[in-house]
Amino acid sequence: RSRYNLSDGRSSGIEEVLLGRVQVVESLALSVAEFPDRTALATHEGEFSYSELYSVVGGIQGGLKSLEGSSKPLIGVMTGDDHRTYASILAILASGAGYVPISRTYPASRVQQILDQAEIRCVLTSGSVSSLEQAAQSSSSQVEVLDVQALRGGRAEAEFEARSKDDIAYVFFTSGSTGKPKGVPITFRNLDAFFRVLLEGEEYRFSPDDRFLQMFSLTFDLSVMSLFTPLAIGGCCCVVPDSGIAWLQIVETLRAQNVTVSLMVPSVLGYLERYFDEIRLPDIRHSMFCGEALAQSMVAGWSKCVPNASIRNVYGPTEATIFCSSYDWSEEDSAQQAYQGVVPIGSMYPGMEARLLGPDGAEVPAGEQGELVISGEQVMTGYFQDEERTAEAFIELAEGDSARSFYRTGDLCFHNERGDLVYCGRLDSQVKVQGHRVELGEIEHFARQHVGHSFVAAVLPKAGAAAESIALFVQGEAKDLEGLETLLAERLPSYMVPREIRAIEEMPLNLNGKIDRLALRQRLE
Ligand code: AMP
């Protein structure tokens, strides 16, 4: 029986830990009782055992109690790569709230937007962050900031409050094309459904000896998998340091920490490719990729670096809790199954259903491309206090005599002959930059505000594959661009600020009268 499956009898015999049957929280609470001396977290500061980490959690909980805003359902946490930041997330969940990660690289206006939108009244931070201080002051309501580095006092036991399945575990904000980020609330019901597949299924059979790579910003929901999976089973979460060159730090963490489970965005392979001959990681048992199209050629090369690993391409939007489909890569037949050089995304997780719709909203015939719409326990019920965008994102489809609500992913897919889903691209202008989800429309929204007309276009320099930066074209003269970059840097996360901004005399249009993005891209070559 899996360590995680606690529903019949307690594997640890700790009868008093009955937390409203939210399995993930129960498991977090049980890990410290069961494995106090095992390593829970490895950061650039060193290793922290479960009892060490959870006593920091207990201390933060004590600090939280003194804040008025901590009674609100959501608490903010500034991102960081130190144990106190990770303990802060655990403290928020243990104290009965949900967490909202806010990147310390965001400009103050973005931080403020999130604080206001999620009605956050208190934020935990490990060390002072000027954008947070500015935002907290100018926010429409009072926001308390607790610097967890400044907490004094002895050790305290973490106390996990009972949670209900419908409580929000976290809200992640993603780019929205109207300039307002979208809040994705994920409940413990959603999260439990995800972890049930991951931890109770036969695919992975994780054990307390597993050491997980954590390479993601805490504002990216793949971090939820990399953090909570090990902590739910008594394993170790190995955090990649934020400083230095990201991909070098990733390789170094994989090697030095003897990582056994790695979840990465495919763009990492773009950096590592040159060194495939030198990389040997025999400890890795599971190597997973998610977040963007996975190129067959790259993964074939990578497979030699991880000779003992099973490799999987997993897929899913934040709205459907981390990931919800999976494809087992194999050296023998994945090359034939790749479509336009991209590895399939496989089949949906148990409890999830996928359909493919044509432009008329009807299901497409077998084998044809259509928009992937998904339904099931992992899918959120709607964007945070945003009925309009929720209505746009969901579609009711008939199921027998009744109807069922499906989330529209905006991803174009088809089913191949083996029944696997194959990813073909996006229907809209959502792109991935360094693994981050970006609506090009959001950049254009702010650019339009600055130049006062709508002939602006944000494009990726390269089609399809993972991109590192964005370029922005504006119809007009060089003088029209003055101040534009500063404005964008003040409004947007740094990965969304175009690396190149060009003025052009006349915006090229295609036959449909739309901005000809292909022609713009060619100008960059
Ligand atoms: P996010 O909400 O940031 O996780 O982004 C979700 C989007 O990333 C999806 O709708 C897809 O467009 C893309 N995506 C995620 N995983 C994959 C994958 N394995 N292959 C191709 N695209 C993916």
Closest protein CA for atom 7 of ligand 1: 317
The beta-carbon contacts of 243-250 under 8 Å, at least 24 apart in sequence, are 243/44, 243/81, 246/215, 246/271, 247/271, 247/272, 250/213, 250/215
Query: Torsion angle, CA of 295/307/46/247, rounded to 10 degrees?
Result: -30
Of 20-24, 320-324, 439-443, the range with the highest mean pLDDT is 320-324
Does the CB atom of residue 409 touch ligand 1 within 6 A? yes
pLDDT of residue 387: 96
Closest protein CA for atom 12 of ligand 1: 411
Compute the C-alpha angle 486/490/493, nearest 5°. Answer: 115
Q: Which 8-state DSSP code applies to residue 342?
A: B
Does the CB atom of residue 269 touch ligand 1 within 6 A? no
* Tokens found for residue 183: 């809040």
Neighbours of 15 (CB within 10 A): 8
Say yes or no to pLDDT of 12 above 70.
no
Does the CB atom of residue 292 touch ligand 1 within 6 A? yes
Which of 371, 423, 426, 438 best tests ligand 1's pocket when mutated (most atoms within 8 Å of CB)?
Answer: 423
CA of 459 to the centre of ligand 1 (A): 18
* Tokens found for residue 207: 């054990």
Does the CB atom of residue 439 touch ligand 1 within 6 A? no
Q: Give the C-alpha separation, 185 to 168, whole Å.
A: 6
Max intra-chain CA distance, the chain: 73
Does the CB atom of residue 143 touch ligand 1 within 6 A? no
Of 21-30, 442-451, 493-502, the range with the highest mean pLDDT is 493-502
Does the CB atom of residue 189 touch ligand 1 within 6 A? no
Say yes or no to pLDDT of 153 above 70.
no
Question: pTM of the full predicted structure?
Answer: 0.90
Q: Give the C-alpha separation, 376 to 317, whole Å.
A: 13
pLDDT of residue 463: 62
Give the H/E segment covering residue 42. strand 39-43
Residue 413 φ/ψ, nearest 5 degrees: -140, 165
Does the CB atom of residue 407 touch ligand 1 within 6 A? no
Q: What's at 488, amino acid-wise?
A: L
Predicted confidence (pLDDT) per residue in 322-357, tens digit: 999 999 999 999 999 999 889 999 999 999 999 999
Q: Which 8-state DSSP code applies to residue 145?
A: E
pLDDT of residue 464: 55
Q: Give the C-alpha separation, 195 to 87, whole Å.
A: 20
